[in-house]
């Protein structure tokens, strides 16, 4: 079994904690937005926080150090991602709503990023192993929830900020638990190598 040693589990732990704190801050902004006079400022701040989370995840070397996917799998994943983007754009045009929620779109981008990380992590384990299947299921769930967040155009700004905050908290918990799983796997392999 290839070792997922190129990924730093501590980096995932830090990102899990960062996402939990980020989601909590976005939910707190939802509380601030309850007063109509602060709605615009709260919405803009939530978009900035989600953007910062996406940039932090993208630029972290411990997360970028994961081994690349095989070419066929990468092409298939990009094709599915493009289909999802076309679905989101098509549903917006069909509904006649050309203005989609910025916070919803940023949360969807964050979901797509972490879905791609989970797929990449799954490729480091044996095919059809419970860990690989679980990580693929997390990737599918994140992609689906990202589409739901991006296409919820009927919600108010307060509603979409609250949904995005709750989703980012759940994403942080997923990331944290994934780091624990990988840490256990690395410790088990390190103990086996010492024998």
pLDDT at residue 33 is higher than 70: yes
Domain-embedded: residue 19? yes
- Find out whether 106 and 54 touch, Cβ atoms under 8 Å: yes
Which band of pLDDT confidence, cut at 50, 70 and 90, is reported for residue 4?
A: very low
Task: Tell me the whole-structure pTM to 2 decimals.
Answer: 0.75
Residue 3 lies in a domain: no
CB hemisphere CA count around 191 (13 angstroms): 6
Per-residue model confidence as pLDDT tens digits over 112-159: 888 888 887 887 777 778 888 888 888 888 888 887 887 776 778 888
Rounded average pLDDT over 146-175: 84
| 182: in domain | yes
User: Is 4 inside a domain boundary?
Assistant: no
State the pLDDT confidence band at 1, using cuts at 50, 70 and 90: very low
pLDDT of amino acid 148: 80
Mean residue pLDDT of the chain comes to 77
For residue 169, the model assigns a pLDDT of 92
Task: Specify if 67 maps to a domain.
Answer: yes
Domain of residue 56, residue span: 9-194
Contact 160, 102 (CB under 8 A): no
Q: Residue 90 domain-assigned?
A: yes
Indicate whether 144 belongs to any domain.
Answer: yes
**Per-residue pLDDT at 126:** 79
Instruction: Say which residues have a Cβ less than 8 Å from residue 109's Cβ, sequence separation at least 6.
Output: 54, 146
C-alpha dihedral (93, 99, 104, 109), degrees to nearest 10: 70
Q: pLDDT tens for residues 54-103?
A: 888 777 765 555 555 566 766 666 666 667 666 666 666 666 555 567 78
Provide the pLDDT for residue 5.
41
**1 lies in a domain?**
no
> How many residues in the chain?
195
Which pLDDT score is estimated for 3? 45
* Structural domains in the chain (count): 1
How do residues 12-25 score in pLDDT, each as one tens digit?
A: 888 888 889 999 99
DSSP code of residue 68: P
CA distance 148 to 170: 15
Is the Cα torsion angle 132, 81, 142, 53 positive or negative in sign? Answer: positive
Alpha helix segments (H runs only) across 35-129: 39-59, 61-64, 71-94, 102-122
Neighbours of 9 (CB within 10 A): 20
Residues in CB range of 1: below 8 A, 6 or more apart: 125, 126
Phi, psi of 140 (to 5 degrees): -65, -40
Q: What is the rounded CA–CA span in Å between residue 140 and residue 144?
A: 6
């Amino acid at each position: 079994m290839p070792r997922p040693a190129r990924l730093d589990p501590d980096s995932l732990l830090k990102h899990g904690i960062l996402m939990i704190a980020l989601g909590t801050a976005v939910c707190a902004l939802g509380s601030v937005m309850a007063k109509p006079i602060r709605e615009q400022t709260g919405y803009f701040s939530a978009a900035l926080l989600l953007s910062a989370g996406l940039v932090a995840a993208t630029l972290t070397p411990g997360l970028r150090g994961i081994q690349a996917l095989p070419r066929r799998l990468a092409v298939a994943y990009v094709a599915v991602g493009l289909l999802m983007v076309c679905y989101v754009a098509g549903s917006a045009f069909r509904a006649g709503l050309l203005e989609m929620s910025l916070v919803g779109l940023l949360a969807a981008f964050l979901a797509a990023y972490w879905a791609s990380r989970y797929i990449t992590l799954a490729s480091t384990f044996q095919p059809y192993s419970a860990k690989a299947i679980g990580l693929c299921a997390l990737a599918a769930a994140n992609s689906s929830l990202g589409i739901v967040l991006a296409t919820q155009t009927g919600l108010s700004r307060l509603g979409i900020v609250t949904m995005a905050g709750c989703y980012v908290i759940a994403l942080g918990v997923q990331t944290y638990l994934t780091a624990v799983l990988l840490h256990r796997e690395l410790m088990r392999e390190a103990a086996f190598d010492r024998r």
